[in-house]
Structures are given as C-alpha cells and as structure tokens.
Structure 1
Amino acid sequence: MSHYVTIMDIDFLNTTKETFLRAFIQPRLMNEQPCFIVTANPEIVMQTREDPAYKKSVKQADYVVPDGAGILLAAKSMKQPLQERIAGYDVMIDLLRYADKHGLSCYFLGAEETVNKKAVAEVNRNFPNVRVAGRHHGFFDVDDPEVSDAIARSGADLVFVALGLPRQELWIAEHKEMFSKGVFMGVGGSFDVLAGTAKRAPDIWINLNLEWLYRLLKQPFRWKRILKVFEFIIRIVFKRS
C-alpha cells in the first residue's frame, strides 16, 4: 500500500490516526523537532486549487492527513483508498492527552478572546498536567512579529492555531522557520468546541461520515462552503482538474 495518495496535487499521508500519532508525531515531540501538520478537507483542497499562495503553504507541511468524508470518497473513486479519516479535532484532543501524560507545553493561538480564554480554561480542567505556554486571540495582523516572537520565547512543544482557512496555514508556513521546535497544527473552529460555544456532531453522524450534513443543518449559512465539497467531488469523479 502506498504511503501517499495524491489528490489535486496534494499528497495525503495514507495511514490511521493511531499510527500517525505514534509513528510520525510522537517521535518529533520526543526529539524536539519542528513539525507542520495540515488536516485537509475538500474545502482546503479546493482553496489550494484557487489560491497559489495557499497551495504553497499547504505543500510546505510535513504531513497532510485526510479530514473529511469527501477526501476518502475521492481517494476511493481513484482506486487508491485511504485507510481512514483523520479528523483535526480528534488529533488535537489526542495530542492534548499525550501532552498531559508527558507534561508537555502548549500554546493556543486564535479565535475570539473570550473563546480562547474559555478553551484554555477547559484544557486546564481536563488536562491538568498540560503546561500552558501561552495564548493569544486570533484578531491580529499576521505580519505582527510580537505574536510569533512570543510563541518562540514560550518554547511550546505544541502550537494549536485556530485562525481558520486560509489564514492558519499561511501563518504557520510564513513563520515556521523561526522555530527550532514545536508541532504546529491548524485547528479551525476547534477552540469553539473546546470552549463549549459550538457542538461537534454526535458520534453516529461522525461514524456515518455525515458530520458535514450535521453542520449544515445546524448552521445553514455554511451552504456555500458545502457547495465547495460537491464541486470537489464532481471534479474528482469526472476527472476535471
């Protein structure tokens, strides 16, 4: 089985979440090696197709993993099936568990100030051995050196970046060379889920790969984003690049 499946010029690591964390990420943490993770859904892949600067940033990632039923469907239609969906929120929670077990430090960048503060409070409550290296809301100029300097000074082992698409990957790619250590990962709206201001789909929806539909029903304003998913599928099925 190939280690990678290429979809619209983006190379997806073909593995399970458990193997990804154990064999690829944990050694980076133990050896204090910098690492950039992208958990890519169809919307992210479509953005890389439409925005060359964003595509460049995603291709700078050390690992791109499949987050979204549409990615798995695309790979299957190409007769190069991916082993499983690796959801960004699940990866974040597993990394927090690992950090809790090993006393690692985390930095939380992004979301509104109240959401960021509440998310960090929940981390302190649920993962008491995690050392919070620092936190900062997401409303800042991406070129502001104060934010990246503060993160570098913090020496964080894990940096969760909740700036949304495409800002989070652009920010990580632009600044990653200044860090000698740290696993960096864009986590989208995950701080809202941590903080309890947004709910994740129930397990039955997730297990049926229908989390996207649950979100649409709960947040109808997301319909334009869902259209991108359908465009992605159509382009894959009908082999239109």
Structure 2
Amino acid sequence: MRFWGEGFDVPVNVPDWAALKRHVSERLQVGEGFSLATINLDHLVKLRCDGRFRDAYAAQDLVVADGNPIVWLSRLAGRPVDLIPGSDAILPLAQLVAAHGKTLGLVGSTQQTLTAARQYLEREVPGTRVVATLAPPMGFEPAGAAADDVLDALGHSGADVVLLALGAPKQELFAAYGRQRLPTVGFVSIGAGLDFLSGAQKRAPGWVRAIAMEWAWRALSQPARMIPRYAKCVTILPLEVTHAIRLRRAGNASGLVPDR
C-alpha cells in the first residue's frame, strides 16, 4: 500500500507481523542495520509540509502501518496491511533481539522514564540486555552536534538495536541520520512506547484499543495536544480516500506490497 501527497510517496513495505519479524531477524543474523518507521495520519500531515521529514521517510528501510485509518485505507485500496503500532512492536522486537544475543539501546524521554523502561524490558523479556539509556537535552537537533554525541555514546555502548522515543519528526530524522553514522545498528521509531512501558503515560485499556477507539482515549486524556492534531488528520482523509479508491480501480501493480 502506498500513501501519497504533493511531492512524496510512502510505501508500507512491511505488511504484517510475520514479515516484520522476518526482516528484522535477517538483518540481525548478518549484523546489518536498519531503520523502521511507523506511518500514521499524523505523519501524513507532517509529510505534506516538511521536506526534511519527507527525506527522512524516504531513507527508512522498513515502514509499517501504525493506526487503524492506515489499515482501513489499505483495505479500501485492495492492498491490505496489518496494524503494527510502534508501542505494540517493542516487546516482540525485544524478544527477537534477545533471541539473537544482541543488545538494546533506549533514546528519548527522560532518564527516569528510560531507567523504568529498561527495568521493565529486562524483567519481562528474558535475556534482554539494555546497554544504553540516553535522554537528549531540550531542543535536541536530530542531525546536529547533540545527535553526534548521542550516536557516539551508542557506538561505544555496543547497542545493536535502538528504540527511539523522540516523537515525530525528530525520531525519524535521527534514525535516518544515525543509519548513515552507525550502519550496523537498527533504529526503531516508537513514539510514546517507552513512556507506556515505564508508566509515565497511561495507555488506553485493551478493550478500547480493540474497538479502534484509542484515538478518543488520547484526545480525552490530552485534549490540548491531541485534538488539534486529530483535526488536521481529518482534513487529509478525503484526499487519501480518493487515492485509495483510485488504486483499487486502477489495480496499479506498483502499489502492491511484495511481502503479502
């Protein structure tokens, strides 16, 4: 499935959990790095007005569908993909990393949150080794001197896979930059995932997520931040729906996901 806008084209090239685990396992086995992004409507809004973000997304090796609207649009287009939220991917990826005898690094949020997240992962996933917990300073520039300092620390730590909780677009920009500096490291953008693990933020209950209403939970929990974001997302839906219908009618082979 492909999502589009003026001057950019974003393919979801990892359609399901099996494909995600296969791709990551293959790279871990040969010591090859990667960058993983989780596309959602908020990202599509940002991609329309941020050239650096578009360049960063173009540099991502793996892209999964994070958000039910992305999944619904893919089905409408006849190119179905599964829902793989960044937060839900943390534990399965940590299990893969541990199974391959590799190490984790955590970047983002606060040191307190990272410490709690490290303790959670090491408790819940046997064999997990978190070798770096780095909380960049306020105003962190994801491709500047501060980013170099973080990457140097990650390189010295020996982290094989790094979970990035910097928020979009910073985490994707940092992943694209880090991918060049540390080509054997995997960078995974997970948004608020570490905050959920640590308890710094409370995630919607499972039954709320099951009925695809997590967005409403978040809007009620953080109205000042989330309601304007969701309002912008609504404005792009007609265009994306139109594009999905055109893909379905055209049967455009270039829009097919090769791993499905």
Structure-2-length-normalised TM-score: 0.84
2:154 aligned partner, one-letter code = I
Q: Are the equivalent residues in 2 in contact too, given 1:58–1:169 (CA < 8 A)?
A: yes
1:191 aligned partner, one-letter code = L
Q: Alpha-carbon deviations, 1:80-101, whole Å to 9, x = none? A: 3323111111111101122233
Q: Map of 1:28-47 to 2, 5 A cutoff?
A: 28-47=27-46
C-alpha displacement at 1:224, in angstroms?
A: 0.9
Q: What residue number does 2:204 align with?
A: 201
Q: Alpha-carbon deviations, 1:157-202, whole Å to 9, x = none? A: 2101111111111111122111131211111111110101212222
3-state SS of paired residue (1:39) = strand
Q: Are the equivalent residues in 1 in contact too, given 2:74–2:81 (CA < 8 A)?
A: no
Q: What residue number does 1:234 align with?
A: 238
Cα gap change, 1:113 to 1:71, in 2 (>3 Å): same
Q: What residue number does 2:192 align with?
A: 189
Indicate yes or no: 2:105 matched with 1:107: yes
Q: Are the equivalent residues in 1 in contact too, given 2:36–2:60 (CA < 8 A)?
A: yes
Indicate yes or no: 2:48 matched with 1:49: yes
Q: Are the equivalent residues in 2 in contact too, given 1:138–1:162 (CA < 8 A)?
A: no
Q: What residue number does 2:15 align with?
A: 15
C-alpha displacement at 1:146, in angstroms?
A: 1.7
Structure 1 stretches of at least 4 aligned residues deviating more than 4 Å after TM superposition:
none
Q: Are the equivalent residues in 2 in contact too, given 1:72–1:85 (CA < 8 A)?
A: yes
Indicate yes or no: 2:2 matched with 1:6: yes
Q: Are the equivalent residues in 2 in contact too, given 1:29–1:182 (CA < 8 A)?
A: no
C-alpha displacement at 1:73, in angstroms?
A: 2.3
Q: Are the equivalent residues in 1 in contact too, given 2:33–2:186 (CA < 8 A)?
A: yes
Cα gap change, 1:152 to 1:211, in 2 (>3 Å): same
Q: Are the equivalent residues in 1 in contact too, given 2:38–2:66 (CA < 8 A)?
A: yes
Percent identity over the alignment is 26
Which structure ranks higher in relative contact order (CA pairs < 8 Å, sequence separation ≥ 6)?
2
Structure 1: runs of 5 or more not aligned = none
Q: Distance in 1 between the 2:27 and 2:157 partners? A: 18
3-state SS of paired residue (1:50) = coil
Structure-1-length-normalised TM-score: 0.90
C-alpha displacement at 1:106, in angstroms?
A: 0.3
Comparing 114-123 and 158-167, the one that deviates more: 114-123
Comparing 116-125 and 85-94, the one that deviates more: 116-125
Cα gap change, 1:19 to 1:141, in 2 (>3 Å): closer
Over the aligned positions, Cα root-mean-square deviation in angstroms equals 1.8
Indicate yes or no: 2:179 matched with 1:176: yes
C-alpha displacement at 1:128, in angstroms?
A: 4.1
C-alpha displacement at 1:17, in angstroms?
A: 1.2
